[in-house]
Amino acid sequence: MTLAELITQARETLNTSLAARQQEQDALMALRSDENLTEDAVAARVATRDAADAEVTRRQTALDQLVAEQVREEELTALAARTTPTGNRPPAYDRAARVGAEERTYRPDQDRRGSAFETDVAAAFIGDYEARDRLARHMQEERVERGDQLVRAAGTGAFAGLVVPQYLTDLYAPAAAARRPFADACRPHDLPPQGMTVNLSRITTATSTALQTENAAVSETDIDDTLMTINVQTNAGQQTLSRQAIERGSGVEPVVLDDLFRRYASTLDGTLLNQATNGLTNVATAVAYTDASPTVVEMYPKVLEGLAGVEAALLDQASGENIAVMHSRRWYWMQNAMSSTWPLISQPGITAQMSGVNLGTTYGSGVRGTLPNGTPVIVDNNIATNYGAGTNEDELYLVDRNECHLWEDPNAPMYIRAEQPKLASLGVLMVVYGYFAYTHARYAQARKIGGTGLVTPTFTGV
């Protein structure tokens, strides 16, 4: 077995250990929510979780050792190729070639616009072997620095997959994108390596207990489940560029690829929110807020009504990690309100007279703030703003984030394939794609606030 095969095997084993550790952590959190838990039970579960932690550490160490060994082997191979043993006297010190720290193949200090990388990609597809060698070195450098993310970036062909140097994507003004704030807040899972469905068993008929009359039959209800089938979906985009644009333009290819990445993220997130039948807007139970002159003070009780519905639906399955997901216009509207009233019950970390806390973070960076009852806020501009009869309403979602499940390929970032299907017209095709599956409906827990109270906001301080 080669070193590359051993590294691939070690990564797969590490992923399995990580999944097992997450299961142990989930089990521990579920146990802690049990009202009848004992210290011994918690200690036993913590010990099991810690054992899983140790296994992850052991697997990671083994992988790091293999990767380091592979890097060293490549360094020695390169060194052997650069030296030719002879019986001659060694050259003078100032005339001898020496090997030090090797620089990256594509460097921002030498090629800020990325033209060398673009030219090599195009040249490799018409048989330029030197360009292929440079791209191969670049891919090996990426595997060393980001190997855990690029296990399957390259396929069996010479250049089935290429990763654009990261510095190239930071030197221009990209088209704005809503990206994936809600998707990043969902409970993540690794997508199974095969199959186009994810199947879950859901108990639909529970057992029963009842007070027994002496000598009478004990209550019995046959437990039953229903198979929940979740489809694996493909998110993909492509762009065909002319060789003239790549070879004669400046920074064209990395700009296009980065824009495809942004559209990929936005499409994924928008699907989770808005897709017919399964999107959050279509599975959430409506909480109506109808008001011709809406105010933040009037809307806030609807938030509590929605959160109450989430917990009532989940009962002992509630994790307590509730989140509110809203459009940026709704978040700023809530911040604009001024009031002389405040909640009667204080919350941890919230000043009594405040109507929430703004954490001052940027869009897409996670939690933006908290509501007066401590619920974290996710701002996501993939939320539609054309609901209602006037096509000017948005919606505010309230969910237990651990019941918003998202399965993604563990080898993200997304794949890139550079091909040349139209040789006669000098075309270069770039494709970005990935597989995912999701569900918010394992339990009917999600709530959404909608209605005329959520029309385009006016910032009047109320």
- Give residue-wise pLDDT tens across range 231-284: 999 999 998 888 888 777 766 777 888 889 899 999 999 999 999 999 999 999
DSSP result, 365-395: SS--EE-TT--EEEE-TTS-S-BTTTT-B--
What is the distance between the terminal CA atoms of the chain, rounded to a whole angstrom? 69
CA distance 12 to 14: 5
Of the candidates 327, 446, 432, the residue with the CA atom closest to the CA atom of residue 387:
327
Residues of the chain by 3-state class (helix, strand, coil), percent to 5: 40, 20, 40
Note whether 437 and 191 are within 8 A (CB): yes
Q: Token digits for 226?
A: 């229903």
Task: Spell out the residues 6+ positions from residue 180 whose beta carbon is closer than 8 angstroms to its own.
Answer: 265, 266, 268, 269, 364, 382
Note whether 321 and 314 are within 8 A (CB): no
Q: Please give the pLDDT value at position 153.
A: 39
CA distance 162 to 158: 10
Of the candidates 336, 331, 414, the residue with the CA atom closest to the CA atom of residue 380:
331
- Whether this prediction's pTM lies above 0.85 is answered by no
Task: Spell out the residues 6+ positions from residue 132 whose beta carbon is closer than 8 angstroms to its own.
Answer: 124, 158, 159
Q: Token digits for 459?
A: 């910032």
- 369: pLDDT strictly greater than 80: yes
What's the one-letter identity of residue 188? P
For residue 289, the 8-state DSSP code is -
Q: What is the number of other CB atoms lying within 10 angstroms of the CB of residue 199?
A: 10
Per-residue pLDDT averaged across 377-402, rounded?
Answer: 97
CA distance 235 to 280: 18
pLDDT in tens, 55-100: 888 888 888 888 888 877 777 777 766 554 544 555 554 555 554 5
Q: Please give the pLDDT value at position 211.
A: 96
- Measured CA to CA in angstroms, residue 302 lies from 96, 347, 415, 454 at distances of 77, 18, 42, 12
- The DSSP element (H or E) to which 185 belongs, if any, is helix 181-185
Note whether 1 and 66 are within 8 A (CB): no
Q: Please give the pLDDT value at position 449.
A: 98
CA distance 263 to 430: 14
Of the candidates 408, 444, 430, the residue with the CA atom closest to the CA atom of residue 268:
408
Q: What is the number of other CB atoms lying within 10 angstroms of the CB of residue 458?
A: 11
Of the candidates 400, 380, 382, 395, the residue with the CA atom closest to the CA atom of residue 442:
400
Q: Please give the pLDDT value at position 420.
A: 58
pLDDT in tens, 146-194: 665 454 433 334 444 566 676 665 656 778 999 999 999 999 999 998 8
pLDDT in tens, 144-154: 776 654 544 33
CA distance 25 to 48: 9
pLDDT in tens, 27-55: 878 777 776 777 777 788 888 888 888 88
CA distance 161 to 149: 13
CA distance 224 to 344: 44
Provide the mean pLDDT of the chain.
83
Q: Cα–Cα–Cα angle for 316, 322, 324, nearest 5°?
A: 150
Of the candidates 338, 347, 333, the residue with the CA atom closest to the CA atom of residue 379:
333
CA distance 303 to 296: 10
Q: Please give the pLDDT value at position 117.
A: 76
Q: Which residue has the higher pLDDT, 433 or 68?
A: 433
Q: Token digits for 356?
A: 């929430």
Q: Please give the pLDDT value at position 155.
A: 38
Note whether 353 and 342 are within 8 A (CB): yes
Q: What is the number of other CB atoms lying within 10 angstroms of the CB of residue 230?
A: 17
CA distance 449 to 326: 10
Q: Please give the pLDDT value at position 338.
A: 79
pLDDT in tens, 90-129: 555 455 555 455 678 888 777 766 667 767 776 776 667 7
Q: Please give the pLDDT value at position 348.
A: 73
349 Ramachandran zone, left/alpha/beta (phi>0; psi -120 to 50):
left
- The DSSP element (H or E) to which 203 belongs, if any, is strand 197-205
- Measured CA to CA in angstroms, residue 267 lies from 135, 383, 417 at distances of 30, 12, 19
**If you search the block for the tokens 């579920």, which residue do you land on?**
30
Of the candidates 199, 156, 120, 171, the residue with the CA atom closest to the CA atom of residue 439:
199
